[in-house]
């Protein structure tokens, strides 16, 4: 069953700004599972020293599934089989007047291939990183405590919530 998660400034102990017009951004992300190692794929942004689930904004005319396939290939170099849509996360980032809707999928790794990062990802030192689910949660939680960046706070909260909900699913 698909989860709906919403994150607002007050959830992160931030002061909301009144917004008259929200920019809307649709994104797609994946929990990519390597069944052989029981690890999940993350994007490690080395120059800013943080980890995140692979994914990003949809291109014009791109379906959600096309977008998540492209992002997984670009960021962590994986061909995958999508198991299910897992969650939708809506982030209300008032300070930047952005409402982002991320569609989250669970995917099984089929094959690791050469990542095809964007120029921005190359400049930020982005590389694939494979961690156990527990280590991924611990790593992102640690990074979230160290961050002062407004937008990163949402990204970290989103990824932690997704991974913790996925962990609950595995226990059932």
Residue 54 phi, psi (nearest 5): -65, 140
What is the pTM for the complete model shown?
0.94
Tens-digit pLDDT profile for residues 44-70: 999 999 999 999 999 999 999 999 999
Q: Where are the alpha helices (DSSP H) in 62-132?
A: 64-76, 119-123
Tens-digit pLDDT profile for residues 100-122: 999 999 999 999 998 888 898 88
Mean pLDDT on 16-21? 95
Could you tell me what percent of the chain has a pLDDT over 70? 99
- Residue 21: the pLDDT is 96
> Can you read off the two tokens belonging to residue 149?
């960046």
Instruction: Judge residue 64's burial from the number of C-beta atoms within 10 Å of its C-beta, 0-12 exposed, 13-18 middle, 19 or more buried.
Output: middle
- Residue 161: the pLDDT is 96
145 to 44, 114, 132, 139, 152: CA distances (angstroms): 17, 32, 20, 10, 11
Q: What domains are there in the chain, each with its CATH number? A: 3-171 (3.90.79.10)
- Residue 1: the pLDDT is 60
Whether 23 has a pLDDT exceeding 70, the answer reads yes
Tens-digit pLDDT profile for residues 117-169: 889 888 999 999 999 999 999 999 999 998 899 999 999 999 999 999 999 99
* Angle formed by the axes of helices 133-146 and 150-171, nearest 10°: 160
- Residue 126: the pLDDT is 93
Residues whose CB falls within 8 Å of the CB of residue 91, separated by 6 or more in sequence, listed in order: 6, 7, 98, 99, 100, 102, 154, 158
Concatenating the DSSP letter of every residue in 114-141 gives -----HHHHHTTEEEEEEEHHHHHHHHH
**CA distance from start to end of the chain:** 12
Confidence of residue 12 (pLDDT cuts 50, 70, 90): very high
- Residue 2: the pLDDT is 79
- Residue 118: the pLDDT is 85
CB atoms within 10 A of CB 115: 19
- Residue 18: the pLDDT is 95
Could you tell me what percent of the chain has a pLDDT over 90? 89
161 to 76, 112, 169: CA distances (angstroms): 21, 26, 12
Whether 77 has a pLDDT exceeding 90, the answer reads yes
SS3 at position 104: strand
């Amino acid at each position: 069953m698909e989860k709906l998660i919403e994150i607002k400034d007050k959830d992160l102990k931030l002061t909301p700004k009144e917004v008259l017009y929200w920019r809307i951004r649709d994104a797609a992300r994946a929990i990519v599972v390597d069944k052989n190692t029981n690890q999940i794929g993350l994007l490690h942004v080395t120059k800013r020293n943080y980890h995140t689930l692979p994914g990003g904004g949809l291109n014009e005319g791109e379906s959600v599934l096309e977008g998540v396939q492209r992002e997984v290939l670009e960021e962590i170099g994986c061909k995958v089989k999508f198991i299910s849509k897992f969650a939708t996360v809506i982030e209300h980032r008032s300070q930047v007047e952005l409402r982002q809707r991320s569609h989250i999928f669970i995917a099984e790794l089929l094959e690791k291939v050469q990542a095809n990062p964007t120029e921005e990802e190359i400049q930020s030192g982005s590389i694939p990183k494979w961690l156990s689910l527990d280590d991924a949660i611990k790593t992102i939680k640690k990074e979230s405590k160290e961050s002062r960046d407004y937008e990163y706070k949402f990204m970290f909260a989103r990824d932690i919530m997704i991974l913790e909900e996925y962990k609950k699913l595995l226990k059932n």
